[in-house]
Amino acid sequence: MISIKQDQGNGIIIGSFVLAIILTAWPLPDWATNWRPAWVPIFLIYWCMAIPDRVGIGVAWFLGLLLDVIHSNILGQNALGMVVIAYITLNSYHRMRVFPLAQQAVLVFAYLLIYELIMYVISIYTVNRYLDLTYWMPAVTSMFLWPWLFVLLRDLRRKYNIT
Amino acid sequence: MFQRRASANIRLVLFSILSISLMFVDQHKNYLVLVRSSISTVVYPLQYVVNLPFQAIEWASVSLVTRKTLMEDNERLKKDHLLISSKLQRYQVLEAENQRLRQLLESSFRLNDKVLVAELIEVHLQPFRRQVVINKGQREGAYNGQPVVDATGIMGQIIHVGRFSSTVLLITDPNHALPVQLNRNGLRAIAVGNGHEDKLTLVHLPNNADIKVGDLIISSGLGRRFPSGYPVGEIEKITLDPSESFAKVIIKPTAQLTKSREVLMVWPYQHINSMTEEVAEVEKQ
């Protein structure tokens, strides 16, 4: 009984992550690339919050590794960031669930700042590049995106009864 | 509840250590090439999907051209072809002569580089970096560090090879440096990318160096990664500051780094192997 329930909706979860990765790789005009939301991390935050027993640190690590290859970063960079995000979310999902959407969005903003800070610190050692303020923009756009994404994914989750 | 938290803590530590050691190994050693290439094979279908609409648009724009434009194109291409073949005739004579002279000098002569046309895949990689993905990989014999050029100049080099695709680091990436020389007087320098689309910086050129705006910069072939003699860029701006010991030189790449859809992968230095063997033999003796 439990195992049947646990398996339900794996396709939806995987599909949503695939969509997130496609959105990450989608080419945008130059002015917009720095504003692209951090798709995979926010999808991860949602699933960690909604079904913490199924999506957790292991999944986060694997997704991070995929991102590393896609971005052709040093292996382990995104993986570390994603693991930390998953950990924070797993420790706060009780509170997050009862927050109003706006407050949730601010929390997501804070989590993504932590993520980007980790990325930033690692890239100091691996890449010589000049970063300006737009480096932090994905956190902002993700914050504004969060309420819509939350409602969308919640409806999807309820429809397919994923717990 | 507490048990779950404890296991989350353990996992955090475990996976963090795993990530950090991965980073360390990837930064300093070469062991992870296989891991990366196998993951990139998994990721390639996604990149392919992302590329599809752009391919469709291009296909549509090719198949919807009018007869008139086609005829004009044809006319123009015929003229170009005539012009280029006449130039090529001269070039062939020169090449034969060059080879003969080199044989007289008993230096190894340069074979023609083997090339393969690859297509760019329209995927976004990372802001603040200059990298592109091409649709040729291990299957076609791509290798790490392989030079990539387009019709007008050097574009970059391959840094990660997957089974069906590879990642190319463009010469404008801040992590890229390219040994070059001035075509006019053979002065050697290094062209470093700085993340801007159409700018490279020439470093370590003294203030009194013989350089002029408009000078053609070509690859010098030092470092044995890039073939020598391919155009890299033209000097766009020279800033001489007496308080600095080096001139600040900006060059504009000749390759169409942001516009080319098709690129050439080059297998250079077929003679270099024999040369290194010779060197090794000499060293042994």
Please state the rounded mean pLDDT for residues B22-46. 85
> Rounded to whole angstroms, how far apart are CA atoms A81 and A92?
17
For the stretch A2-14, what's the b/e string if a residue is b when 16 or more beta carbons lie within 10 angstroms of its beta carbon?
eeeeeeebeebbe
What residue type is B61 in one-letter code? S
Dihedral of CA A23/A30/B133/B157: which sign?
negative
Domain limits, chain A: 2-159
* The predicted structure's pLDDT at residue B274: 45
* The predicted structure's pLDDT at residue B271: 45
CB atoms closer than 10 angstroms to residue B233 = 26
Q: Do A64 and B127 touch (CB under 8 A)?
A: no
**Partner residue facing A76 (CB), from B20, B49, B54:** B20
What residue type is B210 in one-letter code? D
Q: Give the best residue of B11, B15, B196 to mutate against chain A (max A CB count within 10 A).
A: B15
8 Å CB contact between A70 and B43 = yes
Q: Tokens representing A128? A: 């010589």
> Rounded to whole angstroms, how far apart are CA atoms A138 and A135?
7
Please state the rounded mean pLDDT for residues A120-141. 80
8 Å CB contact between B164 and B135 = yes
Q: Do A72 and B122 touch (CB under 8 A)?
A: no
Q: Do B50 and A131 touch (CB under 8 A)?
A: no
Interface size between A and B, measured as CB pairs under 8 A: 123
> Rounded to whole angstroms, how far apart are CA atoms A29 and A101?
30
Report chain A residues whose CB lies below 8 A from the CB of B122: 27
SS3 B226: coil
**For A34, nearest residue in chain B (alpha carbons):** B127
Residue B270 has pLDDT above 80, yes or no: no
Residue B209 C-alpha, separation from nearest chain A C-alpha, in angstroms = 27
Q: Do A22 and B49 touch (CB under 8 A)?
A: yes
User: Which band of pLDDT confidence, cut at 50, 70 and 90, is reported for residue B251?
Assistant: very high
Q: Tokens representing A77? A: 């960079």
ipTM metric: 0.84
Q: Do A83 and B15 touch (CB under 8 A)?
A: yes
Global pTM exceeds 0.90: no
Q: Give the best residue of A21, A51, A70 to mutate against chain B (max B CB count within 10 A).
A: A70
**Partner residue facing A25 (CB), from B123, B131, B160:** B123
- Per cent of chain B over pLDDT 70 is 89
- The pLDDT tens digits of the residues spanning B88-129 come to 888 888 888 887 787 777 655 555 677 888 988 877 777 777
The residue that leads in pLDDT, A63 or B35, is A63
Q: Do B43 and A70 touch (CB under 8 A)?
A: yes
Please report which helix (H) or strand (E) contains residue B98, including its range.
helix B67-104
Q: Tokens representing A159? A: 């429809």
What's the gap between Cα B97 and its chain centre?
30
Residue B276 C-alpha, separation from nearest chain A C-alpha, in angstroms = 31
Three-state secondary structure of chain A: CHHHHHHCCHHHHHHHHHHHHHHHHCCCCHHHHCCCCCHHHHHHHHHHHHCCCCCCHHHHHHHHHHHHHHCCCCCCHHHHHHHHHHHHHHHHHHHHHHCCHHHHHHHHHHHHHHHHHHHHHHHHHHCCCCCCHHHHHHHHHHHHHHHHHHHHHHHHHHHCCCC
